[in-house]
A and B are shown apart, each in its own frame.
Chain A
Amino acid sequence: MDLFGDLRRMNKRQLYYQVLNFAMIVSSALMIWKGLIVITGSESPIVVVLSGSMEPAFHRGDLLFLTNFHDDPIRAGEIVVFKVEGRDIPIVHRVIKVHEKGNGNIKFLTKGDNNEVDDRGLYKEGQNWLEKKDVVGRARGFLPYVGMVTIIMNDYPKFKDI
């Protein structure tokens, strides 16, 4: 209500300036995000931990920074973020088995630190191993709690309207 009053009082130039300002901010944010995607090699360089399967290291709401360099080999002990074929949700678990052929072909198995069993129950029907193409990235750094906003918006959709 006040906002529209302000807009009407501005002349065309001021309005144009405001719009450009806004567009600059949005473009900068987009450039930084896209830049991060290129630098890290990952389609999703920042992810929020969605489940408690890696506790006590990571809790729901923690933020993870990923890289996905093509030449980085997948090795046991690494924390990888992967997507099961056909599903959208990224899963953050640890690599516990690796079998790599001479030609670079690699297949590996994952398990959440806090889970009793490995992830074969999570993979596609009949799938026993993950491959490089399933990997979104490797967790390189982490910040606690910061991703809580995403979780809250997910669990309480009403918050999105604020």
Chain B
Amino acid sequence: MLSKKEKELIADIWESLTPVAEDIGADALLRMFASYPGTKTYFSHLDISPRSAHLLSHGKKIVLAIAEGAQDIGQLTVTLAPLQTLHAYQLRIDPTNFKLFSHCMLVALACHMGEDFTPVAHAAMDKYLSAFAAVLSEKYR
């Protein structure tokens, strides 16, 4: 459950990260590939080497979607409807991978924000990313 304060905090953080969306996104993806090599199987059709165009563009897409959701967390199911369909019927990424990505996103945020990634911000962000992942997998079955 996210409090009003937590929602505001999350919206602020993601708004401030939008200018560096591709860096944060690519960083999180690379961390995931390094720690959980099985996740690379979903990217066999792309060049996911560090700083590759595919990695940057994909990282950017993911972060911008997370940032968009953060602007109105109460409406996640509406905002994510097209992505729900995409993930359920086309991409069919096993949802356990969302947890792995979320963890790596938290690590990326910690590296980027340093001391500003306080325990309170961390807690709020973890809750938001869990909610995001849950909504994303709603149409799976």
Q: Do A and B bind each other?
A: no
Chain B residues close to A by CB (< 8 Å): none
Chain A residues close to B by CB (< 8 Å): none
